Amino acid sequence: MTSPFVRRRRLAAELRNLREERGLTAERLAGLLHQSRMKISKLENAHIRPDLAEIMKILDLLGVTGRKRDEIILIARDAAERGWWDGYGDAMGARQRLYADIESGARTIRGYYQVALPGLLQTPDFVRALIDLDRADGPLNYRPERMVEARLKRQEVALGPEGPSCELIVDEYLLRRLAVPAGVMGAELRHLVGTVSAEPRLAVRVLPLDARIEGGFVAKSTFVLYTFPDPDDRPMAVADTVNADVVHTEPPDVARYVEVYERLRAASLSAVRSLTYLEEAAERLAGSEA
């Protein structure tokens, strides 16, 4: 399905541009609609799910007709859709809901993982180990078992026949620093290697600790790049920070992340050498438990 989140952002930009082209302030439009200024702001910033009847009323007030009107109504229909993740609510975690939504309509995913292995390749035991680390930071804002169920559902959808192509860069730093039991990490790495080896659409590259990142500063956080089948849905970069995921869609902002990604990729091991490295790391972890 097309990502409702992506379409909400596209709808927001379309409505804001149309309003500004007609010389209306958000406050004036709100008055004409008999709605609050905050409601218009949330709609134009993609913070709420659109109501189709309200969207059509806005288009009437703005005098939008013909093909343009049909296009925006179609975008609004997609933006109003609900995905499988909505059935979990906040029990799966708000951040995971965001990624599940965006992945649902992606054509390609490219990511740099600095502090945890990619969610699309995690085993249930590895997810539970991450939950233990999360719990050490304070109260959880999700239900652990529902979070694990949702992670498996994400994998089923994204790794299914209609899923996106993925290239994922894993920093060796996290393999050495992440406080996950050796047995769990070893099993996770074997699972990762087996999954990637069996699926041509997947590739994983390891960024060695001693790699030099030429051309600029190193990456400041984990981030993921997305493209979508519809060329009018803008490419997206999502940066993982301590408290929130920051979504970028403006071309100059996304381009900076793409440039950083390409430099990280150039410094990483090849896809084949990376799988060999991960297999050897899994064997070392198994030996450490013997």
Q: Which two tokens stand for residue 90?
A: 């906040």
**Could you say which DSSP state residue 270 is in?**
P
What CATH number has the domain bearing residue 192?
Answer: 3.30.870
Domain check: are 95 and 32 in the same one? no
Domain check: are 21 and 158 in the same one? no
Q: Which two tokens stand for residue 125?
A: 């035991």
Strand partners for 112: 169, 223
Number of domains in the chain: 2
Domain check: are 177 and 36 in the same one? no
SS3 235: coil
Residue at a domain's end among 63, 80, 97? 80
Domain check: are 216 and 133 in the same one? yes
Domain check: are 196 and 269 in the same one? yes
Domain check: are 34 and 171 in the same one? no
Q: What percent of the chain has pLDDT over 70?
A: 99
Mean pLDDT score of the chain: 94
Residue at a domain's end among 29, 52, 80? 80
C-alpha to C-alpha distance for 3 and 19, rounded to whole angstroms: 24
C-alpha to C-alpha distance for 97 and 89, rounded to whole angstroms: 8
C-alpha to C-alpha distance for 74 and 58, rounded to whole angstroms: 15
Domain check: are 138 and 252 in the same one? yes
Task: Give the predicted TM-score (pTM) of the model.
Answer: 0.93
Q: Which two tokens stand for residue 224?
A: 């993921």
In whole angstroms, how large is the CA radius of gyration of the chain?
A: 21
Domain check: are 149 and 16 in the same one? no
Please, what's the b/e burial string for 44-79 (b: 16 or more CB within 10 A of its CB; e: otherwise)? bebeebbeeeebeebbebbebeeeebeebeebbbbb
Quote the domain boundaries for residue 89: 85-289
pLDDT, tens digit (0-9, with 9 covering 90-100), for 129-179: 999 999 998 899 999 999 999 999 999 999 999 899 999 999 999 999 999
The single residue listed with the structure tokens 């009018």 is 232
pLDDT, tens digit (0-9, with 9 covering 90-100), for 9-55: 999 999 999 999 999 999 999 999 998 999 999 999 999 999 999 99
What CATH number has the domain bearing residue 56?
Answer: 1.10.260.40
Domain check: are 260 and 174 in the same one? yes
Q: Letter for the amino acid at 203? A: A
